[in-house]
């Protein structure tokens, strides 16, 4: 039965009006109940406006063009009255099917035997259309309905938080409840608390066209966010939104250095903008979140300062810098302090905690790229502890889901197994990824960092021999060079990007003579 009643010549009775009709005639009984802070009314009705819902539905039934003013943000679930949800849903389906939705055509699809007060459904539909004014205010009506639904969702989340806090299961910790509440609030902020469900192919094509237009207009012609390492951007088209990018290598190859190079390159070129809905947007560069599970924020900052100021990080840590170098450091620190690069140095963070903090960062500061250093130092849930393969699977699956949810590229670093060291050709392969095939499976892009110089330096033959001469030639050719092997890429070809590497500054860069390297086939 409907929550309001309409009779001929009488305005609809709202929920609040119904409640007022049932106020006790004598207040002596109510006053006798001892309650601290008792308000005038015994309960509060969830925010709603039945009249606005009626006005919008009436406008749509009179002129179907009114529907298109609210169709991009309003869903049936946003209506408070269940019957209004049904009317809006039926009208939406008919209008999308290019049919006319009016009181005559839609009454067939609604329950004929239901009564609203002393009115039938057909009479109620006719009344909605008869009292409709104009479609000019349709969008304002729709926004009001949407905002009231959002407030009701906020009330539901708040009530759940209170109830769970009072009666929490033994296995649920307060931090778990906080993370769940943050997730629900983020979903409500991003999507109004409703799953968008299936998307039409036409909408998907429009998004693809917008991406192509953005790539065409953006300097460099990239569809994704530029890493500003040209050899990589040329092969990958930039860092694509919702992609999980695995950056892997053996210790000493420079995984973290490449990640910090890319992170600072993106953050330092950030040019912000604000979308129509008030959320932050990046015209160029982006806001970067960096989860550093291995190094402290101070160590990471020292690395980045060393890269940019071209002063050895070991000299900075030992205090072996000159006065001129210190002045140079001070100048760079002042310039770099305003860069939107945010570092979380929590060790052993779980995938749930990481997701909650990433959502919070996007909500508060914006977020365009997320870095995780590195996967093997993360934790899964308590259920998967003891089975490391299952735990890593949960982590990579969670990272991919988070990339899609936040619509940002996530670069996650990963260690490689020791079997690389047992081969003559020590270039990594997909089978070298440690602990779980899910890393390869969940990743959209897999990058391997390889520096032949590192292995040659550790394998010097006896001086004066032919092998030593040959070794010197190879070392001179490999010195200051690195390869980033694109072993997997959903959006493009595999291959290898040759980069320069300055070990004293832990900095990767493009090199002038970027020779063509044969395509990698792992």
The CATH number assigned to the domain holding 339 equals 3.40.50.300
pLDDT digits (tens, 9 = 90+) for 433-452: 766 667 878 888 999 988 88
Hey, what long-range contacts does 376-383 have (CB within 8 A, 24 or more apart)? 376/414, 376/415, 376/434, 376/435, 377/293, 377/294, 377/347, 377/348, 378/293, 378/348, 378/349, 378/350, 378/351, 378/354, 379/348, 379/349, 379/350, 379/351, 380/350, 380/351, 381/350, 381/351, 381/352, 382/171
Q: What is the pLDDT of residue 366?
A: 84
pLDDT digits (tens, 9 = 90+) for 451-509: 888 887 777 777 767 777 777 777 778 787 888 889 888 888 888 888 888 877 778 88
- Do 265 and 359 reside in the same domain of the chain? yes
- Do 399 and 472 reside in the same domain of the chain? yes
Residues 305, 321: contact at Cβ < 8 Å? no
- Do 177 and 313 reside in the same domain of the chain? no
Domain boundary among 143, 169, 191: 191
- Do 152 and 74 reside in the same domain of the chain? yes
* Banded model confidence at residue 332, pLDDT cuts 50, 70, 90: confident
User: Which range (64-68, 131-135, 298-302, 478-482) has the least confidence?
Assistant: 131-135
Q: What is the pLDDT of residue 212?
A: 63
What value does the mean pLDDT take over residues 269-275?
Answer: 71
- Do 239 and 104 reside in the same domain of the chain? no
* Residue spans of alpha helices (H) in 341-465: 351-364, 388-406, 438-442, 452-457
Q: Is the pLDDT of residue 199 over 60?
A: no
Please state, rounded to an integer, the average pLDDT across all residues of the chain.
Answer: 77
End-to-end CA distance of the chain: 65
Which tokens hold the place of 249?
């290598």
Domain that holds residue 383: 225-509
């Amino acid at each position: 039965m409907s929550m309001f009643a309409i009779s001929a010549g009488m305005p609809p009775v709202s929920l609040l009006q119904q409640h007022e009709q049932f106020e006790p005639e004598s207040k002596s009984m109510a006053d006798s109940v001892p309650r601290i802070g008792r308000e005038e009314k015994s309960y509060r009705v969830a925010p709603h406006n039945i009249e606005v819902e009626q006005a919008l539905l009436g406008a749509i039934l009179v002129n179907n063009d009114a529907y298109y003013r609210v169709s991009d943000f309003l869903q049936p679930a946003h209506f408070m009255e269940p019957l209004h949800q049904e009317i809006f849903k039926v009208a939406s389906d008919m209008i999308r099917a290019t049919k006319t939705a009016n009181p005559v055509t839609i009454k067939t699809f609604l329950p004929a035997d239901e009564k609203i007060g002393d009115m039938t459904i057909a009479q109620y539909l006719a009344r909605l259309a008869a009292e409709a004014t104009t479609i000019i205010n349709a969008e304002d009506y729709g926004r009001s309905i949407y905002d009231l639904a959002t407030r009701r969702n906020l009330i539901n989340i708040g009530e759940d938080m209170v109830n769970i806090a009072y009666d929490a299961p033994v296995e649920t910790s307060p931090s778990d409840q906080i993370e769940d509440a943050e997730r629900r609030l983020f979903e409500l902020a991003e999507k109004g608390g409703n799953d968008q469900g299936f998307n039409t192919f036409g909408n998907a094509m429009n998004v693809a066209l917008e991406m192509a237009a953005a790539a065409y207009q953006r300097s460099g012609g990239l569809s994704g966010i530029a890493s500003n390492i040209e050899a990589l951007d040329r092969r990958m088209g930039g860092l694509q939104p919702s992609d999980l990018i695995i950056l892997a290598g053996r210790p000493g190859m420079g995984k973290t250095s490449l990640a910090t190079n890319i992170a600072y390159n993106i953050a330092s070129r950030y040019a912000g903008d604000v979308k129509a809905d008030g959320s932050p947007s990046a015209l160029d560069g982006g806001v970067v979140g960096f989860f550093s599970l291995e190094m402290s924020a101070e160590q990471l900052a020292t690395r980045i300062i060393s890269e940019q100021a071209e002063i050895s990080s070991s000299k900075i840590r030992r205090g072996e810098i000159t006065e001129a170098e210190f002045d140079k450091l001070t100048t760079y620190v002042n310039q770099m302090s305003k860069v939107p690069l945010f570092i979380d140095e929590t060790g052993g963070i779980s995938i749930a905690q990481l997701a909650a903090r990433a959502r919070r960062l996007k909500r508060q500061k914006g977020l365009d790229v997320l870095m995780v250093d590195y996967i093997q130092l993360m934790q899964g849930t308590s259920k998967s502890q003891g089975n490391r393969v299952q735990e890593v699977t949960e982590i990579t699956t969670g990272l991919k889901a988070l990339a899609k949810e936040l619509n940002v590229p996530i670069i996650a670093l990963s260690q490689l197994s020791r079997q690389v060291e047992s081969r003559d050709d020590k270039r990594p392969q997909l089978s070298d990824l440690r602990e779980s095939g899910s890393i390869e499976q969940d990743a959209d892009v897999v990058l391997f960092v390889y520096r032949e110089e590192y292995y040659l330096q550790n394998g010097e033959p006896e001086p004066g021999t032919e092998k030593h001469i040959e070794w010197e030639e190879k070392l001179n050719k490999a010195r200051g060079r690195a390869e980033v092997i694109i072993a997997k890429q959903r959006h493009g070809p595999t291959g290898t990007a040759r980069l320069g590497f300055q070990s004293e500054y832990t900095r990767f860069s493009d090199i002038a003579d970027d020779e063509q390297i044969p395509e990698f086939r792992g």
